[in-house]
Chains A and B, each alone.
Chain A
Amino acid sequence: MPEAVPARQERLPDPPLLHLLLPKWLTARARATAQTRGKGARVAILALTGLLFWAFIFGVLARLLTYFRGVQEIGELMAGKLLGLGLLGFTSLLLLSSVITALSSFFLARDLDTLVAAPVDWLRLYGAKLLETFVASSWMVLLVSVPLFMAYGLVYDGGVGFPVIVVATMLPLIMIPVTVGTAVTLILVNVFPARRTRDILSVIAVLAAGGLVLLFRLLRPEQLARPEGFRDLVEFIALLRTPTSPFLPSEWAQQVVMGALTDKIPWLSLYLLWSTMGGVLVLGALLHRRGYPAGFSRAQESAHRQVSKWGSLARLPHRVLAPLGVLRRELLLKEIRVFFRDTTQWSQLILLGVLVVVYVYNIKFLPLRGPGITFFLVNIVPFLNLALAGFVLASIAARFIFPAVSLEGRTLWLLRSSPMCVRDLLWAKYWVGTAPLLVLALGIVGVTNHLLQVSSFMVIVSLGTITLLTLALAAMAIGFGTLFPQFETENAAQIPTSFGGLLYMMASIGVIAGVIILEARPVYSYLSAQAFGTTADPTEMVLGFGAAALLCLIVTLVPIRIALTRLEAVER
């Protein structure tokens, strides 16, 4: 019998954490260094917009903080309170966004098959994916926090050490909600299938965000800026001194930052931040070790999604749309079905509803009655309200109509190989987006006109203008969306944040401003004539309103024409 040879200790492969992140890094680098047409202009416009955004936040905050600094006793408390509220907002947003991002990075990402099948240690995988979630969900918060802390540091003379304190504070403050959000996702995936969890989460996230906005508005925070509303100063100061909640990491972070700026750093708060981060990381890792294999396995199962049958009701849309012909009817039905069955799409309508309520609520509380309020003011406000409503409509068109052509990217083979005219496709996309937008536009303007009790002239002007503007903004959304398509992006919510989306918003603002400027003169002369009992010059009226209508007409037809030519030439 041959002598037993001792088995050679086989060294197991152990890819380091950074190796797992290498593909992400290489992809980002390749994207950054790729030479594409118009990239320089794109980067320049993005950088300029970013700088303007930073400058705006910095300017507003620096002004406010300078004012606070000048107020004895309560100025510092108010600056702290403001920071605390800001950081609380950041952590809430991070928690929501990391729950959704973790679902993608831990359970649905395309690289997971390779990573999970590879001999990768569970802790390394957790670390790599957690870092990925951290970056993906926090970059926006980090960008916004730069001008915020710059304003605090400069106004309160934070000195050279201040950025170090900020980094030491923000790192755990961001890491805590990201880790907690990831753990929440892990638990949810173990309960529901991942694809269904995504639907549930997107609705929860939007409901939570909508609830926060509504709650914040209904509290009427502007009252805080009017101390005379409180019974006495002591009550006001007492309110400011009370921490929002002593157990929230955002409160500890606020204490550290304000302490570093005014008095001395409260080391206990910093210690609490770091130790909490350590604690949640350990708990998160243990939870991952216990629940990830089963959760990942569940995530591979597809959720059965049977569509409920409504019997004869299901045929109703067919009958209603029958006069349009088979092709246009089927295109419209497809657009509507695809939209309403994608939770990530329609769920944002909830947020939209909340924002509209807040908008109308703000109009309702405008102080437009009483002494000093002239006939002019009452009628000019609804006219300017048009500009604001136009901006709201442009944002909605950017979110829902701009991505319409891009979302067709993976199925273009079917449409392009069929005898359908591109004109019909664009027609369906345009009207499915425009019809509800028009209803919303007329609703907003109609209700706000009613609340403001404006003259019938202004009602006609505002309803006519908003109708033409809606048609134009929707056409521009289709046009820009086709000129700058994002065919590879699956998430519709990401598409408006592209370069094309930015250009669309800039162009929309230009058109809204153009229409308002063209109509300003005839509106002013009509109101003057009304106020002083004279007659308005009809030539001025026709020229002003005619030019605004012509602008809207051009902006409606030209982008659709360009989109048509462009889409006909798309090769995919």
Chain B
Amino acid sequence: MIALRQLTKRYGQFTAVNRVDLTVGSGELFGFLGPNGAGKTTTLRMIAGILQPTSGSIHIAGVDLLRDPVAAKAKLGFIPDRPFIYEKLTGAEFLRFVAGLYDQAGPEVEQRARELLSLFDLEEWRDELVESYSHGMRQKLIISSTFVHRPAVIVVDEPMVGLDPKAARILKDLFREYTRRGHTIIFSTHTLEVAESLCDRVAIIAQGTIRAAGTMAELRRELADGEEGLERIFLRLTGENAARNLIDVLDA
């Protein structure tokens, strides 16, 4: 469903993403992990067609994103980490607008919108302007807007930020159920427990290159001794030795 080949992004002299090769299959829930500034958001925004890669290719459901962006994006939904949306639209209008971007309208969209708003406890807010929504409510609205047009692939940057425990739980179930129906989801997260419990496979990126990718069992087999958790593997790959002695820091 998602195929990245030698994907590279440079900002002047700085290489944010360096020759990344990655394939995420149909029906797969894929976790993208890495420390701050590792290149996660840049990679996801390139997959979403927002950033142009310096070199390399991106295929979404077999369509080359760079050659035929409209066809590729028609199969894709993106959920950013910062919920900036039109302040002067109501929740319902926003969902209708997003569906319209994917050329979808009518009773089916209305029905989906109602169901999604209700799922995330936004039903009462459907006719309120977005400007009166809290951070978490906006995040829930953006998530709903992605599911309203039923894309084959969903790209999510930090899905749990700002969500209350109930919404976080609903989202996890939604992700699971959605991928069970053959759709693909790739998401970045800093919450390793979420990645460990939810993902079919994960990739760990640091300094713009993929350090490891596979199922939890594969990662443990290749990188850890026996039953080590994802946190140990993550720290080992992303430079745990660089961590300063906490006591030194606090006493300084």
Chain A residues within 8 Å of B, Cβ to Cβ = 195, 302-307, 309, 325-327, 329-331, 333-334, 337-338, 341-342, 410-421, 569, 571-572
A342, B88: Cβ atoms closer than 8 Å? yes
Contacts of B131 in A (CB 8 A): 195, 302-303, 305
Alpha-carbon distance between A421 and B69 when the two chains are bound, in angstroms:
9
Q: A419-B70, A419-B71, A569-B52 are in contact. Are A414 and B85 (CB under 8 A)?
A: yes
13 residue pairs bridging A and B, Cβ less than 8 Å apart: A305-B131, A306-B127, A307-B93, A327-B103, A330-B96, A334-B86, A334-B93, A412-B50, A414-B78, A416-B48, A416-B50, A417-B77, A419-B70
Q: Return the CB mask of B216-232 against A: 1 if under 8 Å, else 0.
A: 00000000000000000
Shortest Cβ distance from A325 into B: residue: B103
| B129 close to A341 (CB less than 8 A) | yes
CB contact under 8 A between A329 and B100, given known A410-B84, A421-B70: yes
Give how many B residues have a beta carbon under 8 Å from the other chain's beta carbons: 42
Interface positions of B from 47 to 102, Cβ below 8 Å from A: 48-52, 69-74, 76-78, 80, 84-86, 88-90, 93, 96-102
When distances are taken between beta carbons in the complex, the residues of chain B under 8 Å from A327 are 100-101, 103
The reply to whether A338 and B127 contact each other, CB–CB distance below 8 Å, is no
Given A413-B84, A419-B73, A571-B51 in contact, is the A305-B78 Cβ separation under 8 Å? Answer: no
Query: Across the interface, which residues of B come within 8 angstroms of A338, CB to CB?
Result: 86, 88-89
Tell which of B76, B93, B105 touches A337, judged by Cβ atoms closer than 8 Å.
Answer: B93
- Of B73, B84, B88, B128, which contacts A418 at CB under 8 A? B73
A337/B89 in contact, CB under 8 A: yes
In the complex, the chain B residue whose C-beta lies closest to that of A409 is B84
Q: Is A415 within 8 A of B101, CB to CB?
A: yes
Contact of B104 among A326, A331, A415 (CB under 8 A): A326
Q: Using CB atoms, name the residue of chain B closest to A328.
A: B100
What residue of chain B has the Cβ atom nearest to residue A334's Cβ?
B97
Contact with B80, one of A304, A341, A413 (Cβ below 8 angstroms): A413
Whether A414 contacts B98 in the complex (CB less than 8 A), given A307-B90, A337-B88, A337-B93, comes out as yes
Closest 10 CB pairs of A and B: A330-B100, A410-B84, A341-B88, A417-B78, A419-B74, A418-B101, A419-B73, A305-B129, A417-B48, A302-B132
User: Taking beta carbons and an 8 Å cutoff, which residues of B are in contact with A?
Assistant: 45, 48-52, 69-74, 76-78, 80, 84-86, 88-90, 93, 96-105, 127-129, 131-134, 145, 155
Q: How far is the CA of A569 from the CA of B69 in the complex (A)?
A: 13
Q: Measured between alpha carbons, how far is A485 from B50 in the docked complex, in Å? A: 17
Q: A307-B90, A571-B52 are in contact. List 11 more A-B contacts (CB 8 A).
A: A303-B132, A306-B127, A326-B103, A330-B99, A330-B105, A342-B88, A413-B78, A413-B80, A414-B85, A417-B49, A420-B70
Q: Could you say which of B73, B100, B134 contacts A417, with CB atoms under 8 Å apart?
A: B73
List the B residue with the shortest CB-CB distance to A410.
Answer: B84
Is there contact, CB below 8 Å, between B132 and A326?
Answer: no
Task: Report the minimum CB–CB distance from B151 to chain A (whole Å).
Answer: 10
Residues of B within 8 A of A309 (CB): 127
Taking CB atoms, residues of chain A closer than 8 Å to B85 are 411, 414
Contacts of B89 in A (CB 8 A): 334, 337-338, 341
Chain A neighbourhood of B72, CB < 8 A = 419
In the complex, residue of chain A having the shortest beta-carbon distance to the beta carbon of B131 = A305
Question: How far apart are B90's CB and chain A's nearest CB, in angstroms?
Answer: 5
Query: Which chain B residues border A304 with CB–CB below 8 Å?
Result: 128, 132
Q: What is the CB-to-nearest-CB distance from A198 to chain B, in angstroms, rounded to a whole number?
A: 11
Chain B residue with the shortest CB-CB distance to A331: B100
- Interface contact B93-A305, CB-CB below 8 Å: no
Cβ–Cβ contact A416 & B49, under 8 A? yes
A418 to B78, CA, bound (A): 8
Counting chain A CB atoms within 10 Å of each CB, the highest count among B52, B86, B90, B104 belongs to B86
Please indicate the chain A residues that have their CB under 8 angstroms from the CB of B103 in the complex. 325-327, 419
Complex: A303 Cα to B105 Cα, angstroms: 30
* Contact residues in A for B76 (Cβ distance below 8 Å): 417
Q: How many whole Å from B71's CB to the nearest CB in chain A?
A: 7
What's the Cα separation between A421 and B45 when bound, in Å? 18
Shortest distance from the beta carbon of B20 to any chain A beta carbon, whole Å: 18
- A571 vs B127: C-alpha distance in the bound complex, in angstroms? 32
**Inter-chain contacts of B80 with A (CB < 8 A):** 413
Q: Within the assembled complex, what's the spacing in Å between the Cα atoms of A416 and B96?
A: 17
A330 to B96, CA, bound (A): 8
